[in-house]
Amino acid sequence: MPFVAPLFVPADHPQRFAKAASTHADAVIIDLEDAVAPAAKQAARNAMLAADIGDKPLIVRVNGSPTPWWDEDLAVVARSRAALVMVPKAESVSS
């Protein structure tokens, strides 16, 4: 079943995760990408790993492959319970 109405939550605002999970959204998307300032990326990854969104599917939007955060985002997502990984809009065939 596709996720018709997922809800985005910035990963550096973990206090919003439970609220997002309590809505009628089909899934929660924790955003590590442009919603998070560079200085907050590591704390945001840690918050995503600790996220308690109940039984809602977790989707994680990562930073793009040309960024310095790509590798670490993927490594952290691999340790998470994410159902899906969302990559940002591709800007070229190679990214």
Question: What's the pLDDT tens digit per position in 46-72?
Answer: 999 999 999 999 999 999 988 999 999
How does residue 90 score in pLDDT terms, banded at 50, 70 and 90?
confident
Q: For the full predicted model, state whether its pTM sits above 0.75.
A: yes
Q: Is the pLDDT of residue 95 over 70?
A: no
Q: Which residues, at least 6 apart from 72, have a Cβ–Cβ distance to it below 8 Å?
A: 41, 42, 45
How does residue 11 score in pLDDT terms, banded at 50, 70 and 90?
very high
pLDDT at 4: 75
Q: Which residues, at least 6 apart from 32, have a Cβ–Cβ distance to it below 8 Å?
A: 11, 41, 44, 45, 48, 60, 61, 62, 63, 69, 73
Q: Is the pLDDT of residue 1 over 60?
A: no
